[in-house]
Structure 1
Amino acid sequence: MNATGALGRYGEKLAVRRLGEAGMAVLARNWRCGRTGEIDIVAQDGDTVVVCEVKTRRPGFEHPMAAVTPAKADRLRRLAACWLDRHGGLPPGGVRIDLVGVLVPRRGAPVVEHVRGAA
């Protein structure tokens, strides 16, 4: 695995921890839907399914939250529909798309920011 991949995996690990601290249960990680793409984390928040995009960056690059463009948000919506189609349809609480941004400095603790309903 290259350095970028390792950084991304580290960010996903921190995101899973943050979601767990928020009371969510992780249902899947790196779930793929054909050629549509991949959902980083699928979680359950009460009776809501949460599709979570994780963006991890080092300082000096764009802020992790800036990486979710309108095109990326559309793809996340299509991926959410694919997940629901393959896992029994829309739950009572619906579906939500969240974003977890992880900023990993060269020194010191990473900063993890969770935005609910980001897309």
Structure 2
Amino acid sequence: MEGETFSGMGNGAQVDGKVLQTFQKSFVQVQNILDQNRLLINEINQNHESKVPDNLSRNVGLIRELNNNIRRVVDLYADLSSSLARSVEASSEGDSAATLRSDGKAGGKRNRPS
């Protein structure tokens, strides 16, 4: 898969196979955290319904864990978004640098020094 590209994006952008592997890994991490959150929420609900003081005090830690998991999911999605934006930007820069001018010669994009 290394070096492969994926052009299944709606606008024809190509995405490197390594980028896809990173996305897949991140989505698996997100799914695992969401599965864990489901279990935490179930336990929190059971503790709440039991009205047992020890169970209710245990919920404080469970809710903190749930909040931390939610932060992790938000961070993972933010990283995914940044990675996708960089990948698409790099792909579009590569496409524009490889365009041909009307005379058939390669017309690379010139970068002016700042």
So what's the TM-score if we normalise by structure 2?
0.26
Q: Rg larger in 1 or in 2?
A: 2
Instruction: Looking at secondary structure, tell me which structure has more strand per residue.
Output: 1
| TM-score, structure 1 normalization | 0.26
Using CA pairs under 8 Å that are at least 6 residues apart, name the structure with larger relative contact order, 1 or 2. Answer: 1
